[in-house]
Amino acid sequence: MKRVRCPKCDNFITFDEKKYQSGQRLVFECPNCSKQFGIRIGVSKLHKTQKEAAETPENQDEETEYGAIHVIENCFHYKQIIPLHWGVNTIGRYQKGNPINCPIETVDPSVDMTHCSITVSKDKKGNLKYVLKDGPSYTGTFVDNQILGDTEQRVIEHGTLFTIGATSVILYTHAEEGEE
């Protein structure tokens, strides 16, 4: 399955590319905004689904050098694996033009555009350190069923479950993945 993004509203449309030949032109009508647009099979507008991209082993090692967050599937979205990078990783709901660097593709209204952040740095011993901070957001960020205060920061580690809105997220660190 492949996805193509509507150029007007940024909504994804999924289709089975195996039913078509390379070079064939397809016309789509976005169910969200009714925009009609065309693509040619085998040309750059086709995207792997996040699930397909996450399962590609050659990308996974490169992308997870600093770990990743796993967004748990629920009624608002599918499971997503979002790689982390060095420095501040701003997490929020994906919307076209939103300047965050860890977008979650969801329709969950309780996830803010810039909900929280995870800062990846090194501690005094040279080990990777992950610090979670709320956005500030309207619904809050919860760790161990406790809400983070507006200025509170919490050091989290491999396997930490935190909640943003109605969405649960688990931190997987690169160092821990190799040790287990």
Mean pLDDT across 115-119: 95
Mean pLDDT score, 96-114: 88
Tell me the mean pLDDT in the region 149-154. 88
Mean per-residue pLDDT, 32-50: 68
- Residue 14 Cα distances to 28, 41, 43, 116, 169, angstroms: 10, 13, 16, 29, 25
* pLDDT, mean of residues 99-112: 89
Q: How far apart are CA 48 and CA 24, in angstroms?
A: 18
The arrangement of strands across the sheet holding 47-48 comes to 12-15, 2-5, 47-48
- 46: pLDDT strictly greater than 80: no
Higher pLDDT, 162 or 11: 162
Q: Which residue has the higher pLDDT, 16 or 102?
A: 102
H or E segment to which residue 62 belongs: helix 57-63
pLDDT of 106 higher than 90: no
- What would the mean pLDDT of 152-171 be, rounded to a whole number? 93
Q: What is the mean pLDDT of residues 16-44?
A: 81
Beta-carbon contacts of 39 under 8 Å, excluding residues fewer than 6 positions away, are 4, 25, 26, 28, 45, 46
